[in-house]
Amino acid sequence: MQHYKTLTALHLGNQWEAPQHPLFSMIGCQSECKLGNREFTTDCYVIAFKKIKSGNFMYGRTSYDHDNGCLFFAKPRQIIEMKDLEFEEKGYMLMIHEDYLHGHELFKEIEKYSFFDYEVTEALHLSPKEEQIILELHSKIQTEYFNNPDEYSREIILSHISSILKYAQRYYKRQFVDRAQVIGKTASKFNDLLRKYLNQGLMVKSGLPNVAFLADQLFVSPRYLSDLLKQETGKTAMELIHIFMILEAKTCCGWGKRA
């Protein structure tokens, strides 16, 4: 598998036009366009908005649902695979090399956005209004990217990227609420799993259940599960595990019972 350390190598390797900047690039479609068959890793953060006409986009070995306009986020050195991919109009990818963030507040700030660790099936599905806001920010980045760069260009581009990330965080919270209304509270299923784990004697065999195991049982990524539970209960997955075990210990010892 090819790993691209530079954006120039990434563009050349995928037969894209050379980037306007060595550390930041945009791949977009003004009309239908094909991106062929590719599998690679890179030292870049990727933010992509897409309406895919056909083909498969793979991220973390998981196929991307392309029924609606979505945003997805990839962190450096994550496997990205494209198979006969064809975008509709308005599809784009932003590629931000890690070095482009050096010296900017976003260098540290970007680490707090846990959706860079989500699986591709946990992409952000946008409402029409949300889509409009994201596309407007993209348009501003595009204008700055293709203009003659000056000392303000990087700061302006990164400020718009920061806005996209903040909006994405807000929209993910909305998506968590929508998800709960459609398929029920994840917290209830999470507690049921903990109860099952205990009843099957797995505590004795394997010790305390970890978040990765429980997330796998619920068919979500660990970070997505923790954020989803935080939205529903105010507690992370690990905090809920500890609370469950404390309550179980009290029950077993007869604590909290009145004499």
Beta bridge partners of 46: 74, 95
Residues 94 and 76 in one domain: yes
How far is residue 161's CA from residue 158's CA, in Å, rounded to a whole number? 5
Q: What is the pLDDT of residue 91?
A: 75
Q: Are residues 39 and 104 in the same domain?
A: yes
Within a domain: 258: no
8 Å CB contact between 248 and 198 = yes
Any domain includes 127:
yes
How does residue 72 score in pLDDT terms, banded at 50, 70 and 90? confident
pLDDT, position 8? 92
pLDDT (average), residues 92-104: 93
- Output the pLDDT for position 59: 41
240 falls in which pLDDT band (50, 70, 90)? Answer: very high
Kindly list the distances between the CA atom of residue 240 and the CA atoms of 24, 38, 117, 214, 237, in Å, as whole numbers in the listed order: 40, 41, 21, 12, 5
CATH number (domain holding residue 81): 2.60.120
The answer to whether residue 21 is domain-embedded is yes
In which band, very low, low, confident or very high, does the pLDDT at 181 lie, cut at 50, 70 and 90?
confident
Instruction: Give the CA radius of gyration of the chain.
Output: 21
Last-in-domain residue among 147, 162, 182: 182
Question: Domain count of the chain?
Answer: 2
Please state the rounded mean pLDDT for residues 203-219: 89
Q: How confident is the model at residue 64 (pLDDT cuts 50, 70, 90)?
A: very low
Q: What is the token pair recorded at 249?
A: 């210990």
Own/partner pairs, 181-184, CB within 8 angstroms, 24+ separation: none
Residues 15 and 110 in one domain: yes
Same domain flag for 153 and 196: no
Q: Can you give the pLDDT at residue 255?
A: 47
Pair (215, 147) in one structural domain: no
Identify the domain boundary among 182, 200, 221: 182
Mean pLDDT computed over 237-251: 86
Residue 183 pLDDT level (bands cut at 50, 70, 90): low
What is the layout of strands, in order, in the sheet containing 92-97? 24-28, 92-97, 44-50, 70-74, 124-125
In terms of average pLDDT, the best of 90-99, 116-125, 176-185, 245-254 is 90-99
Distance CA 159, CA 156 (A): 5
Residue 214: Cβ-neighbour burial (10 angstroms; 0-12, 13-18, 19+): buried
Residue 230 is encoded by which pair of tokens?
Answer: 């935080």
- Indicate whether 105 belongs to any domain: yes
For residue 248, count other CB atoms closer than 10 A to its CB.
Answer: 14
Decide which of 122, 149, 182 is a domain's last residue. Answer: 182
State whether 156 and 86 are in the same domain. yes
Range of the domain at 214: 184-253
| C-alpha to C-alpha distance for 224 and 76, rounded to whole angstroms | 18
Q: Are residues 178 and 189 in the same domain?
A: no
Q: Does 54 fall in a domain?
A: yes
Verify that 128 and 239 share a domain, yes or no. Answer: no
Q: Given a cut of 70, is residue 186 above it in pLDDT?
A: yes
